[in-house]
Amino acid sequence: MNKKVFLTGDRPTGRLHLGHFVGSLKNRVEMQNSGLYEPYIFIADMQALTDNAKNPKKIQDNIKEVAIDYLSVGIDPSKSTIFVQSQIPELTELTFYYMNLVTVSRLKRNPTIKTEIIQRGFGESVPVGFLTYPISQAADITAFKADFVPVGEDQAPLIEQCKEIVHTFNATYGDVLKMPEIYLSNNDVCKRLPGTDGKAKMSKSLGNCIYLADDSETVYKKVMSMYTDPNHLKVEDPGNVEDNAVFTYLDAFATDEHFSKYMNEYNNLDELKEHYKRGGLGDVKIKKFLYQILEEILTPIRAKRAYYEEHLDEVYKMLQDGSKRARMVASDTLNEVRNAIGVNYFD
């Protein structure tokens, strides 16, 4: 059976957190373990440099952190090719060919880029590399002939841009590139886990994250100070479960087994929610329950993390081996691309 290729990556600008875990990492591990796919998972250090050019140390440090996070959640180098973008020079050459197929105005209209330019305060001083990173992302995707790209909704315009490039390339030079599809999570809660402050999204810059690397005590403190219903002052008060971060997290993480294990006076989350809405259920009790669930998830991840922190040589070796394998695949695609364009003068 021909396995479908899926490819996805992360910018190494910080450690991964619970938002990444429910939003993508868990899904990748499931896809990987299903045996139905050929997974490529990579650290997009070149893309991270497009807005961190003056701070390469940050990228360098976080390559290690993200790699450890990958291994700790169960991304397995014997089943997935895990690699580092900058170690595949073929991607840069592909990018340069694709650049001729995209206009500057199209890039400036890309909604993801537009938002990010505002977020970063670039104005007219946007670096060329930053403006063009969607083209480089198209190279990442097409080099491995990805069928599916599992990413968050915010990435949809980048996948659209990639599809346009594939279309234009194939129409111009012949059918070489594979048309990719975005692969969105079908679980609404998991698409966008709010921060502990209840704000829209868990994000490093907002300081509202629970990291996979946080120790028990830190997780406890963060959960205990989580945003709930600001009008739920006394235990007797009826509470609101919408826009209540603790309940959103329970939606994302709690299973019926967690109830029988830690809170068997309820059968499931619906019953717990009903009680909260009626009144008579205190925040601390639910927060302790959430903490127990998170600990159950994070404890094995933490143990693996501790191992890899002590065995960094294994981590780098894994990245190096993965990059070698990835390079062979990208190099085959690049050859096809060169042949299609006709820049194979000496063959």
State the residues that interact with ligand TRP by CB under 6 A.
7-11, 44, 47, 137, 140-141, 149, 151, 155
Cα 37 to Cα 32: distance, rounded to the nearest angstrom: 6
- Output the smallest distance, CB 53 to ligand TRP, in A: 16
- Output the smallest distance, CB 29 to ligand TRP, in A: 16
- Output the smallest distance, CB 240 to ligand TRP, in A: 32
Q: Which DSSP string corresponds to 263-315?
A: -TTSSSHHHHHHHHHHS---HHHHHHHHHHHHHHHHHHHHHHHHHHHH-HHHH
| Cβ proximity of 246 and 283 under 8 Å | yes
Q: Smaller CB distance to ligand TRP: residue 7 or 209?
A: 7
| Cβ proximity of 201 and 22 under 8 Å | no
Q: Smaller CB distance to ligand TRP: residue 140 or 229?
A: 140
Q: Smaller CB distance to ligand TRP: residue 9 or 74?
A: 9
- Output the smallest distance, CB 133 to ligand TRP, in A: 8
Judged by phi (left if over 0) then psi (alpha if -120 to 50, else beta), residue 342 lies in: left
The DSSP secondary-structure symbol of 101 reads T
Q: Smaller CB distance to ligand TRP: residue 7 or 246?
A: 7
- Output the smallest distance, CB 253 to ligand TRP, in A: 22
Cα 115 to Cα 113: distance, rounded to the nearest angstrom: 5
Angle separating helix axes 89-99 and 312-341, nearest 10 degrees: 40
Q: Smaller CB distance to ligand TRP: residue 82 or 269?
A: 82
Q: Smaller CB distance to ligand TRP: residue 29 or 254?
A: 29
Q: Smaller CB distance to ligand TRP: residue 59 or 254?
A: 59
- Output the smallest distance, CB 306 to ligand TRP, in A: 26
The beta strands (E) that lie in 44-196 are given as 81-84, 148-150, 181-183
Cα 200 to Cα 333: distance, rounded to the nearest angstrom: 39
- Output the smallest distance, CB 193 to ligand TRP, in A: 15
- Output the smallest distance, CB 47 to ligand TRP, in A: 5
- Closest residue by Cα to residue 135 from 71, 182, 178, 91: 91
Cα 169 to Cα 164: distance, rounded to the nearest angstrom: 8
Q: Smaller CB distance to ligand TRP: residue 97 or 183?
A: 183
- Output the smallest distance, CB 259 to ligand TRP, in A: 34
Cα 42 to Cα 48: distance, rounded to the nearest angstrom: 12
Kindly state the tokens that stand for 176. 């070489």
Minimal CB distance to ligand TRP: which residue? 44
- Residue type, position 3, single letter: K
Q: Smaller CB distance to ligand TRP: residue 8 or 208?
A: 8
Please name every residue paired with 148 in a beta bridge, in sequence order, or none if there are none. 6, 181
In the sheet that 181-183 helps form, which strands lie side by side, from edge to edge?
81-84, 37-43, 4-10, 148-150, 181-183
